Amino acid sequence: MIWNEVVCLGDSLTYGARDRYGRSYPAELGKIMSEKTGEFYICHNYGINGETSSDLLRRSWKILKSNDPSKICLLMIGTNDTKIPIPVEIYEDNLIQIIKSIKANGKTPIVATLPTLKFSPYYMFNREYIEIYNESINKLSKDMNFMVCSMNKLENFLIDGVHFTHEGYKELANRWSKAILSLK
């Protein structure tokens, strides 16, 4: 059997928080990629609820090192950074270090833009940072030569203003699959 491994790094949007079936975009992505390629895909879910880019930076090297067979790493992080808010220069440096770690471990990074949030009591301030962080992601993609996967126009899939419905996580997986398949 031929199989492929993908590392998925992120926060609750990677973890799959609020999915009514306890699924996530990595679970849906494995299914989609297997159907599209005829090969088995396992997508390792390293999403942690509430995590910021600073939190992910601390744990990313160990994850990347322990998943040597993976050649692709998907990264979606920053939603929780908006709550603080983490200054854009710190957010950018966290991304730079994570992306360098991904590349140093022989993986191709694909970085998602952050989805627009609706109103939520936990995220009612600093929502403009989504756009600011997305500008940083797009700028860094040119500087560091990595692909960006757009997660815009997903507001109709939000269940609580921040997290996705099951159908929303399937849409995330569809977008990631298109990005992965465009690498070939």
| Host domain of residue 156 | 3-181
Q: What is the pLDDT of residue 2?
A: 60
What's 39's DSSP letter? S
pLDDT digits (tens, 9 = 90+) for 116-131: 988 777 777 788 999 9
CATH number of the domain enclosing 98: 3.40.50.1110
Do 45 and 14 form a contact (C-beta atoms < 8 A)? yes
What's 164's DSSP letter? B
CA distance 116 to 122: 14
Q: What is the mean pLDDT of the chain?
A: 95
Token pair in block for residue 117: 């949030």
Mean pLDDT value of segment 45-74: 97
For the entire predicted model, the pTM comes to: 0.96
Mean pLDDT value of segment 81-97: 96
Peptide bond into 109 cis (omega under 30): no
Largest CA distance in the chain: 49
Which among 1, 165, 7, 166 has a CA at the least distance from the CA of 99?
7
Residues above pLDDT 90, as percent of the chain:
91
If one counts the domains in the chain, the total is 1
Q: What is the pLDDT of residue 184?
A: 66
- The torsion angles phi and psi of 5, rounded to 5 degrees, stand at -120, 140
